[in-house]
Amino acid sequence: MEDAEIRKRRGVCSTALLLNWVGRTAEQDQEEEEEKTLELSLGLPGGGRRRTACREKGKHPAVDGSVDLSLGYSKVVPNSQVHTSGWLDLRVSRKGLDGLVLQLPDCFSSDNLNLFGSLMAHSKANGSPEAVTRNALAAPNNNSSRTRSPGAPVVGWPPVRASRRNLASSSRAALEQQNVKKAVKAEETKRAPFVKVNMDGIPIGRKIDLNAFNTYEKLSVAVDKLFRHLLAAQRDPRTEECPPEEVAISGLLDGTGEYTLVYEDYEGDRVLVGDVPWGMFVSSAKRLRVLKTSDLSSSLITSNRKRTAADC
């Protein structure tokens, strides 16, 4: 999950796709073959699985296994869909002007299913990310070719009664509060982005001001200081004496430590910290996470690092 995202992020900087998958039968797949389709290949997390069969799709073979989404145009020949272990073929077809519908072939089984239901993205063809998201969300779940108008909000969802809608904006106090919060937020994003930092396994999060640092090293030290105590308290308060022994949290940036620092950008993608220039990082990071390195595949991290070095 995180793997898939991170891998995806590495290779294809500007493209990805919102998946809103709906199961369809094989017959329906065949009807679609004449339509223009975008094809997507998504690897399962857990690292390093490669395609073991070649497809007749023509374009965009996966770049060495551990990869990225590749987008392109091709005709899909239904009968040639080979379903190998670990790989799923996702076909995206266009419905109407702007809508995108994603269908999974019926032959996938939930045993193999380990992917995020929603990866944020935008495609070059359709412009802004928001538009695609909305359009995909607006895609119909029935087999009529009539779609909801793109961008239309879903009626009655989430299911709260009318008296509970607009609670955030209805009361005077809430309105004031909101205005104050908005003003503060606007200020914050302009000058000092306080970002939340959450560590795996620790329910309490922290906030730090990225502008207070100017290198990744300093950031790493700060994160260590913030969470060192909490981590120790978490370890086993009953058996350890108090104060429990505090262990420095190291190796956050290079994958050598027990934990690794990751950030989420405004599109919701998760990216390893340390790869982009500092200034770019500060302006794009929305929040930070300290994840267990073991949850991320180690070969993944090193291979990604190599690629990044090569790209730059």
Partner 1 sequence: MSTPPSSSSAPIPTLASPGMRDAADDSDSPPSHMSEDSDGSGAGPGGDTWTPDLRGTNGGNGGNGGRWAPPDQVLENVLESVLEFLTAARDRNAASLVCRSWYAAEAQTRRELFIGNCYAVSPARAVQRFAGLRAVVLKGKPRFADFSLVPNGWGARVSPWVDALGPAYPRLQRICLKRMTVSDDELALIPRSFPLFRELSLVCCDGFTTRGLAVIAEGCRHLRVLDLTEDYFHEETEVVDWISKFPECNTSLESLVFDCVSVPFNFEALEALVARSPALRRLRVNDHVSIEQLRRLMARAPHLTHLGTGSFRSEPGSSGASSVSDLATSFAAAAKSLVCLSGFLDVNAEYLPAIYPVCANLTSLNFSFASLTSEELIPVINHCVNLRVFWVLDTVGDEGLRAVAETCSDLRELRVFPLDATEDSEGSVSDVGLQAISEGCRKLESILYFCQRMTNVAVIAMSENCPDLVVFRLCIMGRHRPDRVTGEPMDEGFGAIVKNCKKLTRLSVSGLLTDKAFAYIGKYGKLIKTLSVAFAGNSDMSLQHVFEGCTKLQKLEVRDSPFGDKGLLSGMNYFYNMRFFWMNSCRLTVKGCGDVAQQMPNLVVEVMKDHPDDEGEVDTVDKLYLYRSLAGPRTDAPEFVNIL
Residue 36 or 292: the one with the smaller Cβ distance to partner 1 is 292
Nearer to partner 1, 65 or 205 (CB): 205
Of 207 and 218, which has the nearer Cβ to partner 1?
207
Please report the sign of the dihedral spanned by the C-alpha atoms of residue 33, residue 12, residue 45, residue 119: negative
CA dihedral 160, 165, 168, 170 (to 10 degrees): -150
CB of 54 to partner 1, least distance (A): 28
Q: How far apart are the first and last CA of the chain?
A: 26
Toward partner 1, which CB reaches closer, 20 or 123? 20
Nearer to partner 1, 53 or 154 (CB): 154
E strand residue ranges, 79-181: 87-95, 99-104
Name the residues that contact partner 1, by CB under 8 A: 1, 4, 20-24, 45, 106, 110, 113-118, 137, 140-144, 146, 154-165, 167-168, 171-174, 177, 203
With tokens 């493209």, the residue in question is 15
Specify the residue, 10 or 289, whose C-beta has the smaller distance to partner 1: 289
Q: How far is the CB of 218 from partner 1 (least distance, A)?
A: 29
Interstrand relation of 206-209 and 37-43 (parallel, antiparallel or unpaired): unpaired
Placement of tokens 């996702």 in the chain? 90
DSSP-derived 3-state class of residue 101: strand
Kindly state the smallest distance separating residue 148's Cβ from partner 1, in Å: 9
Question: In the complex, what is the shortest distance from the CB of residue 171 to partner 1, in angstroms, rounded to a whole number?
Answer: 5
Q: How many residues does the chain have?
A: 312
Instruction: Classify residue 238 by its DSSP letter.
Output: T
Least distance between partner 1 and beta carbon 24 (Å): 8
Taking the complex as a whole, how short is the minimal distance between the CB of residue 4 and partner 1, in angstroms?
8
231: which 2 tokens? 């981590």
